[in-house]
Structure 1
Amino acid sequence: MQETPKDGLRRGDLGWFDAGRRARIGMPEAIYAAGKSDAALVEMIDFALEGSGPVLVTRFDPSRWELVASRAPWLAFPGIEENSDYVTLVARPLDQTTTKYVAILAAGSSDRVMALEARAVLTALGVHSHLILDCGVSAIERTMVALDEAHEAEIFIVLAGFEGALATVVASMVSKPVIGVPTSVGYGVARGGETAMASMLTSCAQGLMVMGIDNGFGAACAALRILSVR
């Protein structure tokens, strides 16, 4: 790859890589694996590994593992062997330098892969997270238990499909920032997460922030921005 004069932006044979992003905004460029050819993916990963900071690869198809396995000691969220549609890969995570943590509450265990995408990003940047699965409002007693367990969190990331109600409940119960992630989990008029997203966007809970459908990555990035000013 060749570096352009401005801000560490580099251009390879198959794409561009923003090597200066972490210096500008505190977070490295994430390599979005879905849709990239094998050659383009390897080129981006090899260039990212030339740097000294954390490396993030999102929406990685585990069937392509042999392409990258030998290139770095990877953390995989979830593990490669767990037969998920996609995983998030992390190399060279930063050491944790704060006791502050982000709570990740997932309404159902079917939201786990998206929740782990958020956890991967936080781990890469040295931020501890506490993940609680299956705490949705269909049995609201478990929601209350989860909120009690995570009461010291600085930020809450809340993932929910179906009608997306968990985000409103959490945002009505805590004073810390709440980031809702509608997920594509649910039957019929759940419409691949559109109903959950509309529900969160029309929430009566004041100040609830909402990401796009299944965007655990974006939720973690938002949490990191909030933490940087707290």
Structure 2
Amino acid sequence: MVDVAIIMGSESDRKVAEGAIEVLSQNGVSFEVKVLSAHRNPEELERYLKETDAKIFIGIAGLAAHLPGFIASRTDKPVIGVPVSAKLGGLDALL
């Protein structure tokens, strides 16, 4: 059982995820890290969301960042969306 699931849209988002990993580790919070794209493998992502016992999700993705919204639409657990800076500096993920 994990408290937090950190889901990145791609491996290139890992640098941003490292901040969350560090804070969770320092505070003794259990977590797991997955690379699952809402665009490239939505079925696998949906299956993971149904099977995991995580209490909170952190969705990290760049560009239009549909990942946090995809996660939120398939769970009633809290979802934290973290934009990754891209051409619009992450702003497009918050619109």
Q: Common fold, TM-score beyond 0.5?
A: yes
Give the aligned residue type for 1:137: A
Partner of 1:34: none
Quote the Cα distance in structure 2 between the aligned partners of 1:172 and 1:162: 19
Quote the Cα distance in structure 2 between the aligned partners of 1:148 and 1:119: 23
1:146 CA drift (Å): 3.2
Give the aligned residue type for 1:138: H
Relative contact order, higher structure (CA 8 A, sep 6+): 2
- Does the Cα contact within 8 Å between 1:183 and 1:193 map onto a contact in 2? yes
Give the aligned residue type for 2:88: R
- Does the Cα contact within 8 Å between 1:132 and 1:146 map onto a contact in 2? no
Equivalent residue in structure 2 for 1:136, among 25, 34, 37: 37
Partner of 2:21: 119
Partner of 1:206: none
Structure 2: 5+ residue stretches without partners: none
- Does the Cα contact within 8 Å between 2:5 and 2:33 map onto a contact in 1? yes
Cα distance per residue 1:175-209 (max 9 Å; x no partner) = 11111001114xxxx412111122xxxxxxxxxxx
Quote the Cα distance in structure 2 between the aligned partners of 1:131 and 1:143: 13
Partner of 2:94: 197
CA RMSD, 1 decimal: 1.6
- Seq. identity, %: 37
Larger Rg: 1
Quote the Cα distance in structure 1 between the aligned partners of 2:73 and 2:62: 18
- Does the Cα contact within 8 Å between 1:105 and 1:156 map onto a contact in 2? yes
Matches within 5 A, 1:173-184: 173-184=74-85
Partner of 1:166: 67
1:145 CA drift (Å): 3.5
Quote the Cα distance in structure 2 between the aligned partners of 1:102 and 1:164: 19
Size of the aligned set, in residue pairs, is 94
TM-score normalised per structure 1: 0.38
Quote the Cα distance in structure 2 between the aligned partners of 1:100 and 1:132: 13
Runs of 4+ with deviation above 6 angstroms: none
